[in-house]
Chains A and B, each alone.
Chain A
Amino acid sequence: MKPLALFFALALASVHAQTPSPAIPRTADGKPDFSGIYQWPTYLPGDERGHSNATTFDRKNFAPLKPNGETFLEPRTGDARHDEPRDFCMPAGFPGGILSGNAMQFFQTKNYLVMVHEFQRMTRIIPLDGRPHREGLEPMYYGDPVGHWDGDTLVIETTNFKRWALDDYYYTNPKEFRMHSDAFRTVEKLRWKSKTALYYEISIDDPKIFARPWSQEFEIVAKPEWETAGLYEYVCEENNRCPGGKCESK
């Protein structure tokens, strides 16, 4: 009886090791499938933002600043075009845009993951086929992402950003806002943490500002009930009535 039990135990262990967990959605080639509609990335329970000068990126998670790293604290000047260009429908950029409080939809094929965020209709096309970053391009608001698989985790490395706001609109310090430099790069990790939610981590690496990379964790909750309506159109220029605090008359 004992050898039989051992056999079954070994067989079971072998099956377990060879067969990917069936609990998560998978593509035909066995990769985790992130296709679906989701809520924007939210904080992990117990890690909610505070109530003043709240921001996506919690100061307590920051790596130490390098000497002269304070340059990423950009003083507000009172000129709205400098202080909040997004108020004039300029791009939110990454990672600020993806953290905006709107729905997003992911489409996955063998070679691409496409993330479409309702806010500003931000679209990220992430190659999954192992190609390197593109070369010779001007720095971008959303950078140049490439993805690769680490087991069931999708790792997305994004480079070639232009200097732009690090934070999303939650950061409302009246004296300054925070910018990443043009040396900024991000590493995101995405995996299913349950049947209904993704684990999502953004690592910030900005060697002109921080002494080392640092990261913040989020959760992305699946919202299949939003599939019927899908994403709504978002054209920021359509009716942006009070840009910079000067309301256009109607």
Chain B
Amino acid sequence: MKRLLLFALLALAVALPLFAHHSFAAEFDDQKPIKMTGTIVRVEWQNPHIWFYLDIKNPDGTTTTWGFAGGAPGQLMRRGIMKDRLKIGETVVVEGFRAKDGSNNGSGGRLTFPDGRMVLTAGSQDRVPPQSTLSKP
């Protein structure tokens, strides 16, 4: 428990100085926070940002695929988040901000997995909605 607490504090310390990345300020609207639940259907583990895609159910029962940008692969891997942490078919909660062009895209700064673990998927300069604790990947 102590270790978990320490990790949470460390993760928070990493998360605190988060401000807009080049892409973030130019690409995402920090006045439009989003929190959505969906199933991972694709992961692009590429620079300058990872992108992951979720199938998200609409109120009318249809499904829309949304894309979310995270940090650079290197930034995530040094945080212990490897590509296989994002599993196709897994249902996750993503928190971030909508794309400026109003398309079905957004920043994916934080992910919560089915087991309740929450990880920071943002780049080190991306803006992330306020959070309390993060878990070990």
Contacts and interface: CB of A to CB of B under 8 A. Distances in A.
B53 A80 contact: no
Nearest to A172: B20
Contacts, number: 110
A128 B77 CA distance: 34
A201 interface: no
Nearest to B27: A242
A226 interface: yes
Interface stretch (A57-65, A83-91, A148-156, A202-210): A83-91
A247 B125 contact: no
B135 interface: no
Interface stretch (B2-10, B32-40, B44-52): B44-52
Contacts of B124: 100-102
A242 B26 CA distance: 9
B25 A240 contact: no
B67 A250 contact: yes
Contacts of A66: none
Contact of A87 (B17, B19, B22, B123): B22
Interface stretch (A8-16, A132-140, A180-188, A230-238): A230-238
A170 interface: yes
A110 interface: no
B48 A239 contact: yes
B118 interface: no
B22 A169 contact: yes
B103 to A, nearest CB: 5
Contact of B69 (A83, A84, A233, A242): A242
Interface residues of A, number: 40
What is the size category of the interface that chain B forms with chain A?
A: 20 to 34
B26 A102 contact: no
Interface string A96-126: 0000111100000000000000110000000
A240 B125 contact: no
Contacts of A168: 125
B75 A238 contact: no
A241 B101 contact: no
Given A240-B48, A247-B103, A87 B78 contact: no
A100 B22 CA distance: 10
A84 B25 contact: yes
Contact of A102 (B20, B46, B74, B105): B74
Contacts of A245: 26-28, 99-101
A147 B75 CA distance: 30
Contacts of B63: none
Nearest to B20: A172
Interface of B: 17, 19-28, 44, 46-49, 51, 53, 67, 69, 72-75, 77-78, 99-101, 103, 105, 123-125
Given A87-B23, A118-B72, 12 more contacts: A87-B27, A89-B48, A92-B22, A100-B125, A169-B20, A234-B48, A239-B44, A239-B49, A242-B105, A243-B27, A245-B27, A250-B53
